[in-house]
Structure 1
Amino acid sequence: MKELFDIAISIVNLPLTVLLGALVLYWILTTLTGLDLDFFDGDIDMDVDTDVDFDARANLDVQDISNTEVKKEEVLRRRGKLNFFQVFLLYFNFVGLPFMFTFTFFVLFWWALTMAGTSITHSYANDFGFLFFFGSILPALLITKIVTKPFKRFFTNFNNKGEVALEFLGREGVLQSAISGDRLTTLEIKIQSDPIKVMVQSKNGLPISANTPVTIVNQVKNKQIYIIQPLNH
């Protein structure tokens, strides 16, 4: 046990050990206190066709529970419309599931692979060990993608508080980003003072400028994408 501890706090493994410990503390705090620690709050605005199955809550809110079903071929076909970071997030399930959920799995596998590699080669205390540190990133991402994929079905019909999906039609909010045509963006609405973000698209593709009060008037069939129009239109 002492040898394992020494390896974990070695010069190569210490950064991941500290990060993993911080994530464990994060989950303990959010579980026991319900604190909404939105370290990675942000939106992903995408120009995509509506035949892509994006979940209504596809953004980077830590507490958002979503089910962004983006097939590999769809992402590859639209690589010209999505930047590298967006493709990366989609492909490795950092958008299709709560960000911190996927991120925790990734760090856990990265730490485990680095620990195993440096332990077997006894390189945890020298520069050679950093080859395992950086070389384990891609394998950890691939394992994370495989392990987290089954959880998408579990999270499909739940919102950010773990409740059954709510009715969004008729809800109002203020659009933060201008949209038109097939462009998608997120809209924050409040239900019983609980902020929830949904993916939205302009009705009939009409342009809507930023900071415009809007209302949700419809939903794309079989998709978690909602149609909006200016309030009092």
Structure 2
Amino acid sequence: MTELLNLLFNPLPNGIMTVLTGMSLLYWVFVLFSGNGIDFGLDADLDVDSEIGDVNDVDAPESGDVSFFSKAMDFINIGKAPFMVIMTLFKFVGWIITIASSIIFQIGKWGVWSVLILIPIFIVTYLLMHWFTKPLVKFYHNLGYTGEESIDFMGRTGKMKSTISEQKYGSAEFYINGDMIRLNVVSQNGDQINYDETVIIVNESKDKKIFYVKKEYTLNNI
């Protein structure tokens, strides 16, 4: 038992990944005892699907560039399966790779610098997640999961996480019902909206994958 605990928390990368994975385990234990079950996993999804659907129902640009973040999330199928499920799997896979790496490469000898091994591990884990999440996508598809939030986003305010103008798409974060949700957004009238500026949602595409925003003026930014 002592040897197992030592492996789980030493060297430093093992300890970091053990704590992160443990946090996800506690999250799902809470979900289990709260009685929400799998529905909670569905509701906790972040709508970051980067596919651009039919937007003919609104007066908006015909095309645009999907943000790098949205493309990155789409690569590991977030939006096609719940965010928390995928993130838990990401941590678990990264944890296994970290433990294996600590044994194979004897990274305990690196001291504090051993934490740098997490960089390539996260990259490898991210690439593997594209394939590891495919069974999850199929599973949730069979459950009828669409990745769409049953939330009325109209009038919601949030912070830009990229700069948008004209026909360029970007992303913004909105704090809704205790969750931080990142959405694909585009400027309603083509005006430039800068990173970290406050915006308000004024319209959405028919498939609710693109949201049209305008800058919200307050006493702080007038």
Query: TM-score, normalized by length of structure 1?
Result: 0.52
Q: Which residue of 2 aligns with 1:18?
A: 19
Task: Provide closer, same or farther for how the CA distance between residues 14 and 196 of structure 1 changes in structure 2, counting only shifts above 3 A.
Answer: closer
What are the within-5 Å matches in structure 2 for residues 56-205 of structure 1? 63-66=44-47, 68-69=49-50, 86=69, 89-90=72-73, 92-93=75-76, 96=79, 99-119=83-103, 121=104, 123=106, 125-127=108-110, 130=114, 133-134=117-118, 135-152=120-137, 154=140, 155-159=145-149, 165=150, 171-174=154-157, 176-177=159-160, 180-184=165-169, 185-186=171-172, 188=174, 198-203=183-188, 205=189
Query: What SS is found at the alignment partner of 1:66?
Result: coil
Q: Which residue of 2 aligns with 1:38?
A: none
Letter in 1 for 2:30: L
- Structure 2: distance between partners of 1:105 and 1:179: 32
TM-aligned CA deviation for residue 124 of structure 1: 6.2
Query: What SS is found at the alignment partner of 1:68?
Result: coil
Unmatched 5+ residue regions in structure 2?
37-42, 53-63, 216-222
Query: TM-score, normalized by length of structure 2?
Result: 0.54
Contact 2:156 2:201 in 1 (8 A): yes
- Please report the RMSD computed on the Cα atoms of aligned residues, expressed in angstroms: 4.9
Contact 2:8 2:99 in 1 (8 A): yes
TM-aligned CA deviation for residue 131 of structure 1: 8.8
Task: Provide closer, same or farther for how the CA distance between residues 92 and 2 of structure 1 changes in structure 2, counting only shifts above 3 A.
Answer: farther
Task: Provide closer, same or farther for how the CA distance between residues 34 and 172 of structure 1 changes in structure 2, counting only shifts above 3 A.
Answer: farther
Which structure shows the higher helix fraction?
Answer: 2
TM-aligned CA deviation for residue 112 of structure 1: 0.7
Equivalent pairs: percent with the same residue? 20
Task: Provide closer, same or farther for how the CA distance between residues 124 and 200 of structure 1 changes in structure 2, counting only shifts above 3 A.
Answer: closer
Unmatched 5+ residue regions in structure 1?
36-61, 72-77, 160-164
Letter in 2 for 1:172: G
- Structure 1: distance between partners of 2:25 and 2:109: 27
